[in-house]
Structure 1
């Protein structure tokens, strides 16, 4: 019992270590700089450049956020980080699905927001993944996936929120988020995620390859 409590305390302190806090500060600075750079006319005047640049920023934020959560200690961790970036950027495929076309112009001029941009989808998909991982006894291989998806998709939604607000079905959407709030939430999200995992007692069964234990 004492060893378990010591381990929990260690992992909680690890999520708030100087290294992770500095990484979060760097993430906030990246968000600030990247989104300001995207406002340059050379980017805004070309739809493809604007779309790809915007999606790339989503990807980097997802990768950076997950790297903070796990603490990069091994080369094999890079695969998970790439997956987090992919999950953070792949959401935008729903623009093309709703448009029913591969045309970028059609995807950018939709009559309404596509379904993966509804923030209510996030807890539904995360809980579904957690149940699936538990039901099929995939904890050793995929226990990290619900948490990764949560942080990747949430960071995407928060960033989109500075332009369009958050769409929370069935309650409608919020006003656009202030830019400063977006930067603060995004840079704090890895620590929020780690803290929630601690509070919910989810620190015991994740693979120890990251030096942490997460039980889904």
Structure 2
């Protein structure tokens, strides 16, 4: 009995340290640095949208499309940077990948058009497949199951969440103009502009909390560090 109690006493400080680290990780999700970065992200979206609305850009289809896609990428990489922080060189690679995923989604316009013509890609009879918002949880969950089945290392555990941020940020931004496509339920009305800005700015924090609740942040704490340093 004494041996059992001694084991409990020895394990208590370790458990307390683990719980303290988890609490610190959750608090860092709403640190001053991350909140300022989120506010800056919202301001960036506001400024970028007004620049894209300039007559000169609207008159040049290729320029408008390229800049709009670049903003999608910037929002995706910025959002993921808030989630993981920028503490090591490898973090920059992850952030760049998130930006790439957020922008490459628009290739499904050309897929549905069956042509490399930008005019055809911008005048589609319906929304392209990767713009179906109900696919986001399905794709991310399927990727998580695939990673579990393939027994990939914990260093890859954040990949489904990166994909979530990239897809969701893209869909929310498009939703301000076209609404969200919740297949098979249909389309929503366009998201109000300030709601789109608010969702975009708070999405990284929502992702961080979900990662904490699912234990993902614990697995990447040794990889990225507990503190978010944007």
TM-score (norm 1): 0.95
SS at match of 1:209: helix
Q: Give the Cα separation in 2 of the matches to 1:205 and 1:61.
A: 25
- Structure with the larger RCO, 1 or 2 (CA within 8 Å, 6+ apart): 2
Structure 1 equivalent of residue 59 of structure 2: 45
Structure 1 equivalent of residue 136 of structure 2: 122
Q: Give the Cα separation in 2 of the matches to 1:184 and 1:61.
A: 13
1:21-60 mapped onto 2 (5 Å cutoff)? 21-60=35-74
CA contact under 8 A between 2:79 and 2:165: conserved in structure 1? yes
SS at match of 1:205: helix
1:148 aligned to 2:158?
Answer: no
CA contact under 8 A between 1:140 and 1:207: conserved in structure 2? no
Select 1:82's aligned residue among 96, 121, 129. Answer: 96
Unaligned runs of 5+ in 1: none
Q: Give the Cα separation in 1 of the matches to 2:130 and 2:24.
A: 36
Q: Which has the larger radius of gyration?
A: 2
1:197 aligned to 2:211?
Answer: yes
CA contact under 8 A between 2:141 and 2:160: conserved in structure 1? yes
Q: Calculate the aligned-residue CA RMSD, in Å.
A: 1.3
Structure 2 equivalent of residue 12 of structure 1: 26
Give structure 1 regions of 4+ aligned residues with deviation exceeding 6 angstroms. none
1:97-116 mapped onto 2 (5 Å cutoff)? 97-116=111-130
In the TM superposition, what is the alpha-carbon distance from 1:91 to its structure 2 partner? 0.5
CA contact under 8 A between 2:155 and 2:223: conserved in structure 1? no
CA contact under 8 A between 2:158 and 2:216: conserved in structure 1? no
In the TM superposition, what is the alpha-carbon distance from 1:75 to its structure 2 partner? 2.0
In the TM superposition, what is the alpha-carbon distance from 1:107 to its structure 2 partner? 0.3
Q: Give the Cα separation in 1 of the matches to 2:199 and 2:43.
A: 12
Q: Give the Cα separation in 1 of the matches to 2:128 and 2:55.
A: 27
In the TM superposition, what is the alpha-carbon distance from 1:183 to its structure 2 partner? 0.4
Structure 2 equivalent of residue 168 of structure 1: 182
Q: Give the Cα separation in 1 of the matches to 2:171 and 2:89.
A: 29
SS at match of 2:220: coil
Q: Is the helix fraction higher in 1 or 2?
A: 2
CA contact under 8 A between 1:139 and 1:205: conserved in structure 2? no
CA 31–69 in structure 1, closer or farther in 2 if over 3 Å, else same: same
In the TM superposition, what is the alpha-carbon distance from 1:104 to its structure 2 partner? 0.6
